[in-house]
Amino acid sequence: EAEETTVTLTDNAGREVELSVPVDKAVCALRYNNELIRACGAIDHIISVDMNTAQDREYWGMFDPDQVIGKSQKELDYEKIVELNPELVILPANGTYEEAASKLEPFGIKVFVISGYETADFKNQTENIGKIFGVEEQAKEFYDYFNGKLEYIKMQLKDVPKKKVYFETKGELKTVLQGDPMFDMVEYAQVENIFAVNNENISSSEVDPEEVIERNPDAIIKVITPAEALSGTGLYTPPTKEEFKAAYDEIVNRAGWDSIQAVEDDAIYFMTQFSHGGASKLVGTCYIAKMLYPEELPELDPNEVFRA
């Protein structure tokens, strides 16, 4: 048995939390968080999860959908949490962690914020998981694997002119701006996001199509999610050929877009919400880098990274 010590860790919300580690029993909401914890070798210490995670029976067979801590990180069942009596509740920053902290404090249950979708905080969060559960070595191995890919991308492309990219999320004419985790995913692929700067009048939820023509990207990357996909789950249903074709046609037929370099060169790429989500979206970074710089990244195989 590892000896218990007290540590103070800074979580993803910037809170300093004092914990007695290693933690033996925790509950955790959000499948991105559960994926990170599993990849770091600590899933045995998670005694219950949210329904959004548990509903994927093939992927999360070890959790009982009848014994969950709530529907999601935003809808928690506090009575259930108290009944399970974990040492720690792990929630993402987009959940109700402040409410949870105040409600669970009288029961001596701590709340710690990990946001598995947060690309820029990958190192801190994997290190925190390592320290919380006493799995430092495995957490470091996991971090090093992905950081090695990022370092390779950076090294190979350091003297290569950056390609200008328009990144469109699954909504029509919706993009990502600074502060969005997907923004970092795109940046880490060593590209120039056309909406990285000069965004006084730009809203990520609705981009002016004229502005894309004006900024003239070299490549367009579009996220598509199939109509069949089970929303918010880890089950993967790829888009159909027809869905890809429809998305492609919709982009190239936008008024005036035939003058954009990316459309002229047919440099239009697709990725799915599912594929890019892994390892705090670093899987997505690998795909974007390889799509745009295949010659410069001979040793990068995103399919292998995704599989791993």
Q: Is the pLDDT of residue 235 over 90?
A: no
Please report the DSSP string for 234-278 in residue order: S---PPPHHHHHHHHHHHHTSTTGGGSHHHHTT-EEEEEHHHHTH
Query: How far apart are alpha carbons 192 and 307 in whole angstroms?
Result: 27
Q: Is the pLDDT of residue 268 over 60?
A: yes
Q: Is the pLDDT of residue 232 over 80?
A: no
Q: Is the pLDDT of residue 66 over 90?
A: yes
CB 75 within 8 A of CB 54: no
If you average pLDDT over every residue of the chain, what do you get? 94
Query: Average pLDDT, stretch 188-213?
Result: 92
- What's the pLDDT at 89? 98
Confidence class of residue 9 from pLDDT cuts 50, 70 and 90?
very high
- What's the pLDDT at 243? 92
Report the share of the chain in percent with pLDDT over 70. 97
The residue whose two tokens read 């694997």 is 145
Query: Average pLDDT, stretch 12-20?
Result: 97
Query: Average pLDDT, stretch 63-89?
Result: 96
Confidence class of residue 234 from pLDDT cuts 50, 70 and 90?
low
* pTM score, whole prediction: 0.90
> Looking at the chain, which runs of residues are DSSP E strands?
5-10, 16-21, 26-28, 46-49, 70-72, 75-76, 88-91, 110-113, 164-168, 192-193, 219-224, 268-272
Q: Is the pLDDT of residue 2 over 80?
A: no
